[in-house]
Amino acid sequence: MRKTGSKGMELPSLWEKARKLIGPEKGVVHLATAAVLNAVWDLWAKQEGKPLWKLLVDMDPRMLLSCIDFRYITDVLTEEEAYGILQKGQIGKKERERQMLMHGYPAYTTSCAWLGYSDDTLKQLCTEALQDGWTRFKVKVGADLQDDIRRCRLIRNMIGPEKTLMMDANQRWDVPEAIEWMSKLAEFKPLWIEEPTSPDDILGHATISKALVPLGIGVATGEQCHNRVIFKQLLQAKALQFLQIDSCRLGSVNENLSVLLMAKKFEIPVCPHAGGVGLCELVQHLIIFDFISVSASLKNRMCEYVDHLHEHFRYPVTIKKASYMPPKDAGYSTEMKEESVKKHQYPDGEVWKKLLAAQNN
């Protein structure tokens, strides 16, 4: 799309300018692409009368592959290789679909151990989660080593040695610091350390991974990965043991499909990022599809769950026995309640009016 100036010169559109300034397939342009295309997928699934995961599961492999852009990744995954993966995934697919409908996809909770929670709050939330059947827990770390040691010991003592514990540093450390810090936390047997350093530092993640694997600690990352190319390099560099897709950071369902297929090629488990705010509603479809049609495995696989803001969605996630139950409503589960949208519209929504009034006072 181009506009012609008054002197007959072609001027780049705002979209093209943004793409050149920010870079292809990253930044705000890529996020906007994800929003638009995710909405298209929602409409497609509604048109077919199916939840998105079922639309993907039922789709002919060639049709599915036509939705994927293989540019920049053919050195690790060609379209024909992807077709072979999907064809192999046809074997036992009906049985895996019945398994999902009956038991759901395993989840882990991030809601018990945010940084800043008091010990009493942490104990209360862990106790409630255990009573609700949760067996996989993630704790935030990275602010203070001694505090991390104390909090991790508290959590590990509460959940016992048999349950799964993960740690998340949210990009806190330099590479040597990450290795040293996690060496001190290894006694608590974490399955992984998530985002130990800059999400853009592929070689840094590889260095951390090489150092921590002998300690039994994997590296997990992906929620901030710009695109499929970053994931490709993380896989090539053996920089992660757990791959964390995000339903909105990548360019919608289309690009997530390519990453799921690459992960299968490298036999790396996918454990999606789903930090609330509607991400759980979205990514559940992708990971259920992954199990049924791509990975065919639940080994070391689980999907994040955070228990807030679900009340704003018309089709919120259903968690039973610490598992995501497959959505049955048509679409991508993205539709928000009209009253929630109205309250939060800027600047005339009720929530914004109160905030702006408070600022003026």
**Which residues are part of the catalytic machinery?**
140, 273
- Tokens at 211, concatenated: 């150092």
DSSP assigned state of 220 = E
- Tokens at 26, concatenated: 């990253």
| CA gap 45, 54 in Å, rounded | 9
Q: 318: helix, coil or strand?
A: coil
DSSP assigned state of 308 = S
| CA gap 2, 17 in Å, rounded | 11
Strand-strand pairing, 319-320 and 323-324: antiparallel
Instruction: Identify whether the C-beta of residue 283 lies closer than 8 Å to the C-beta of residue 272.
Output: yes
Give residues with Cβ within 8 angstroms of 165, minimum separation 6: 137, 138, 139, 152, 155, 156, 159, 188, 189, 190, 191
Tell me the longest C-alpha to C-alpha distance in the chain: 74
Q: How many CA atoms lie within 13 A of 198 on its CB side?
A: 8
